[in-house]
A = this chain, B = another copy of it.
Amino acid sequence: MIWDAWGVPAGHHPLSERVRTLLTQVFGVSGNPVVRRDEGDVPLRESALTPAQRAGLAEVVGADNVSSDHRDRVRHAGGKSTPDLLRRRVEGPQDAPDAVVFPADHDQVLAVLAYCAEHAVAVVPFGGGTSVVGGVDPVRGRFDVVIALDLRRIDHVTGIDPISGTATLGAGLTGPRAEELLAEHGLSLGHFPQSFEFATIGGFAATRSSGQASAGYGRFDDMVQRLKIATPSGTIELGRAPASAAGPDLRELFVGSEGTLGIITEVTLRVHPVPETVTYQAWSFPDFETGAAALRSVVQAGAAPTVLRLSDEAETGINLARSGDIGGSPVAGCLAITTYEGSPAHVAARSAEAAELLAAAGGTPLGEKPAKEWEHGRFAAPYLRDALLDVGVLCETLETATTWSNLAALKARVTAALTGALGEQGTPALVMCHISHTYPTGASLYFTVVAKQLDDPLGQWLAAKRAAGDAIVAAGGTITHHHAVGTDHRPWLPDEVGDLGVRVLRAVKAELDPAGILNPGKLVP
């Protein structure tokens, strides 16, 4: 990952002349790219790791796997939210972990945690570094030293069970690498969040990730069968059966625990055969409400496609629905994307049933082209955000979920909060939205916000984010459907689980991490 932007250099393309002209006209930005710093030139605060600590950690993982190199530190400086990226564009020294440690396996993770608990070193577990909520920020808490624990070496695939459709994956495997290794067995995980190309299995589990094919294959937490977790208090392995009534499901304590209760080192996941057939169908709906009702009818009938999403009028108009690019041929109303995967018989049956419901609910089929275009560009949006940030445009996303009956009200309230908070600052905002995850009882809402940057774009955005978060909570939504809590959503966690829920989380943490070294400042207020 580039230290101060999304992804890899090859993914970045400057905005076209036409788009820059458009942005100048609409937002009044200069359209001239800012100069960014090479990672080698970024000043970092000096590493606080003592020689004794370095030696102690090296004893566990080997000297080659404890690094205080400038490049390693700067590449573990945090995640990829717009605030993260804006902070990296600020002159002056950057915060970074004091060292990066690369354990080889579960036992080394366990030993690193034991060492750090004894020697007062904070530990930030690090996968792909794609957090957009501050989840991997090098927060020291009450410790002098913080390390990033990079799990990339834990990249095994074991226990392939094609009969049961399960496989055991190391936490450090990236999405593409996991798919590649599973494909050797004719299997696929089917988890494709926007962070897919860089994020890891452990990160998906620790943050309750949800992918673009969630209608078909479920959220990542649905896929989790078994977890192996290293904590300062020892190892815990959970999940003995596809389903169980043997007490509380403790897996659900660790899925979404964001490295604060333990470090997930291995996940046994539900997988499926690489689909024999994939078909694509795009739909147009006259408006968002009609489209949402159509999606609802399909999901509640038990006829959900593999991918099922709906862009609102604004997103459809600006064509973000179809790719990471801006512009292209227009689609009227609201664009919905469906894909169907499986055996030819399953795809035929399911797509026929869904098509009938979508048409009955007011949809017009648009053929497969817009759906294929969406698939082609589906991981590109974060690159576009960087290009916009570089030319003085503020761009960020946020997301929530609620019941179907509350969806329109929540959407309106969050949109008003965002346009209000940015408008008050003199920067009228364009707010776009889509539904990307559907459930029988409700759906997610994913907002993209674009406005002109002020001189203090970070402060500008944080005001908007605060307004949006408050609006979400006031309107009965969840503060995050799939981005997790990290530092950024922490103020709203009591709204989610109540003060007593927070006390429960603290009690669990005190049992598993009595020294409090695990990812300080994240998740638990």
Contacts and interface: CB of A to CB of B under 8 A. Distances in A.
A254 interface: yes
Contact of A349 (B352, B401, B476): B352
A207 B207 CA distance: 27
Contacts of A441: 164-166, 225, 242, 270
A142 to B, nearest CB: 21
B163 A241 contact: no
5 contacts: A242-B403, A249-B255, A249-B256, A270-B440, A507-B508
Interface string A482-518: 1111000100110111101101111110111000000
A488 to B, nearest CB: 12
B346 A302 contact: yes
A219 B248 contact: no
Interface stretch (A94-102, A227-235, A325-333, A383-391): A227-235
A181 to B, nearest CB: 19
B210 A245 contact: yes
A216 B440 CA distance: 13
B480 A245 contact: yes
Contact of A507 (B256, B437, B510): B510
Contacts of A440: 165, 242, 270, 272
Contacts of A477: 240-241
A241 B400 contact: yes
Contact of A252 (B233, B249, B401, B493): B249
A335 interface: no
A492 B241 CA distance: 14
B501 A236 contact: yes
Ranked 8 nearest A-B pairs via Cβ? A252-B252, A241-B478, A242-B442, A164-B403, A208-B245, A242-B439, A507-B511, A244-B478
Contacts of A500: 231, 233-236, 512
A486 to B, nearest CB: 10
Contact of A258 (B247, B300, B503): B247
A307 interface: no
B245 A443 contact: no
A144 interface: no
A444 interface: yes
A353 B345 contact: yes
A410 B348 CA distance: 36
A22 interface: no
Given A241-B442, A405-B164, A479 B246 contact: yes
Interface in A148-165: 161, 163-165
A478 B233 contact: no
Interface in A301-356: 301-303, 342-343, 345-346, 349-350, 352-353, 356
Given A503-B511, A512-B504, A246 B489 contact: yes
Contacts of A443: 242
A480 B244 contact: yes
B256 A245 contact: yes
A243 interface: yes
Contact of A243 (B240, B302, B437): B437
A521 B274 CA distance: 48
Interface of A: 161, 163-166, 207-210, 216, 219, 221, 225, 231, 233-238, 240-258, 261, 270, 272, 296, 300-303, 342-343, 345-346, 349-350, 352-353, 356, 400-406, 437, 439-444, 476-485, 489, 492-493, 495-498, 500-501, 503-508, 510-512, 523-524
B511 A245 contact: no
A89 B347 CA distance: 57
A481 B245 contact: yes
Contacts of A219: 243
Nearest to A360: B345
Contacts of A505: 247-248, 250
Contacts of A163: 296, 403-405
A222 to B, nearest CB: 9
A511 to B, nearest CB: 4
A136 to B, nearest CB: 15
A251 B485 CA distance: 17
A524 B402 CA distance: 34
Nearest to A304: B302
Contacts of A216: 302
A484 B243 CA distance: 12
B478 A346 contact: no
B241 A247 contact: no
Interface centre among A243, A270, A476, A507 (most CB of B within 10 A): A243
Contacts of A503: 233, 511
Contact of A207 (B245, B256, B343): B245
A243 B481 contact: yes
B442 A247 contact: no
Contacts of A510: 507
A248 B253 contact: yes
